[in-house]
Amino acid sequence: MSGSKAKPAWFEPELATLTRDRFSDPNWIYERKLDGERCLAFRDGGELRLMTRNQKVVTSTYPELAEALMAQQASDFVLDGEVVAFSEGQTRFAQLQQRMQVARPSAELLRTVPVQYYLFDVLWADGTDLRPQPLRERKQRLHQLLDFADPLRFTEHRVGDGVGFYQEACQQGWEGLIAKRADAPYVGGRTKDWLKFKCENNQEFVIGGYTDPQGSRTGLGALLLGVYDSDGQLVYAGKVGTGFDEQTLHRLHDELSALEQDRSPFDRGNPPRAGVHWTKPRLVAQIGFSEWTTAGQLRHPRFQGLRRDKSPADVIREVPQSG
């Protein structure tokens, strides 16, 4: 596409497909899978927007990222990357939650919970739509486009050695890898040109209710979780009662109590009935778990945080695909 075309106000991000396959191929590159918030960065001269994948503007949430991007010599671009916060050497979504909830963070919060922006693709630069170009060329262009210093990071990759890199990733406690076809263009939506190699299971779930706290517990007992099926029905997937601190329990109770309704939002499945408060299915939680049971329930689930960047309607059961 020529530079004479106007830059669109939004680019649909490309999404990776979960797979059971683990392979090494010289025609693929492999990147670390980061546990953060997906963001696109749009710069038009003196204007900058940071936007989540559901088009929420979060520029003021991450002022240090906006400042670093505005300081670049390049002034016309659209970048794709992941905003992350580290804890004990790992990207932790729970750590990032402290920043995601704050529209205008204080200097103290900026200091105590620093974030970094790991950039892995460039969709537009200097008046040109780069999405039709092969990924390897876009990565090279991205590397040349910016001055990568904290808090901006270039997402490094490895060519070909997917199996070995995956084993290293899991040994180091990473969430996994993203495998990307090196000669593929950038295509919005979920594709098989990008694949997820996960070291552990986690995905998003819709919250459809909560139970009363028991014993010394305050706020709430457990969250009732669901996913949408292909017919648009909300299917009960189990409950999660671990992974919360006191502050999170009270914040969730306040938000969910405002969404209470008389009837269950679940169309299928058998959620508990005693001591349950049903809610409108508006909030999305990220949940880590060991596996799905044969009955379609989560085994050993743990709460990792709310996803403000995901629409409930998009939450389906992630099924690893082969081939």
Catalytic residue numbers? 33
Q: Which of 272, 277, 241 is nearest to 258 (CA)?
A: 277
- Residue 273 CB neighbours (<10 A): 8
- Residue 297 CB neighbours (<10 A): 17
The alpha-carbon radius of gyration of the chain (Å, integer) is 20
Element (DSSP H or E) covering residue 79: strand 76-84
How far, in whole angstroms, is CA 300 from its chain's centroid? 21
The three-point CA angle 50-51-53 to 5° equals 150
| Burial (CB count within 10 angstroms: exposed 0-12, middle 13-18, buried 19+), residue 84 | buried
Element (DSSP H or E) covering residue 263: none
Q: How far apart are CA 262 and CA 162, in angstroms?
A: 50
